[in-house]
């Protein structure tokens, strides 16, 4: 049973890994757009509303779609002062509670944000600024998409956290730090 849970967790990890890797490339696009905007503004004394809006359109996938990727690689801020001194079983209980809580939070955000996205889609919402970008629903759709990835990562963490309670070995998952060479 525990090997099945671990295989499922690895499958969920693979989805998060692929999506996080692709979304991380929006960072390069963001840098290039920002550099282009600065160059246009200071070298040619011109600019574009659409290009300025594109900056935060690129920030959205970078932020929302990379949350799960960051958590998978333990790149988030974590306070372990008390946790490290707790008994192993208490640590396992906290890990399980935390993972289940994030699953619940992710589901709530997905359910609450979906009508927001659909309303934007129905009215073909675009930028209110002249020359701005159309299709704002795509940008807003990244909210449930990002939390869906977080849900997948949290499900993987929940499955792993269940293993010790089902009699399996309490091995921490093999994680690669964000700054490790690939």
Q: How far apart are CA 80 and CA 122, in angstroms?
A: 46
Predicted local confidence at residue 178, as pLDDT: 53
Q: How far apart are CA 6 and CA 158, in angstroms?
A: 10
- What is the chain's pLDDT, residue by residue, as a tens digit (182 residues)? 668 888 888 888 888 888 888 888 888 999 999 999 999 999 999 988 999 899 988 988 888 888 888 888 777 666 677 888 889 999 899 989 999 999 999 999 999 999 999 999 999 999 888 888 999 998 899 999 999 999 999 999 899 899 888 887 655 544 455 555 55
Tell me the whole-structure pTM to 2 decimals. Answer: 0.80
Of 181, 160, 167, whose CA–CA distance to 13 is shortest? 160
């Amino acid at each position: 049973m525990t090997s099945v849970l671990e295989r499922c967790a690895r499958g969920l990890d693979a989805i998060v890994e692929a999506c996080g890797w692709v979304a991380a490339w929006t960072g390069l696009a963001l840098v290039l757009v920002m550099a282009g905007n600065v160059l246009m503004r200071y070298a040619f004394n011109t600019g574009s509303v659409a290009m300025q809006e594109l900056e935060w359109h690129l920030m959205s996938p970078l932020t929302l779609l990379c949350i799960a990727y960051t958590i998978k690689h333990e790149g988030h801020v974590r306070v372990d002062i008390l946790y490290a001194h707790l008994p192993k079983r208490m640590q396992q209980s906290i890990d399980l509670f935390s993972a289940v809580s994030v699953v619940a939070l992710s589901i709530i955000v997905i359910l609450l944000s979906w009508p927001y996205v659909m309303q934007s889609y129905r009215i073909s919402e675009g930028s209110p600024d002249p020359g701005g970008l159309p299709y704002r629903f795509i940008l807003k759709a990244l909210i449930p998409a990002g939390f869906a990835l977080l849900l997948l990562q949290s499900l993987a963490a929940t499955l792993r956290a269940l293993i010790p309670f089902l009699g399996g070995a309490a091995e921490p998952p093999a994680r690669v730090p964000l700054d490790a060479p690939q």
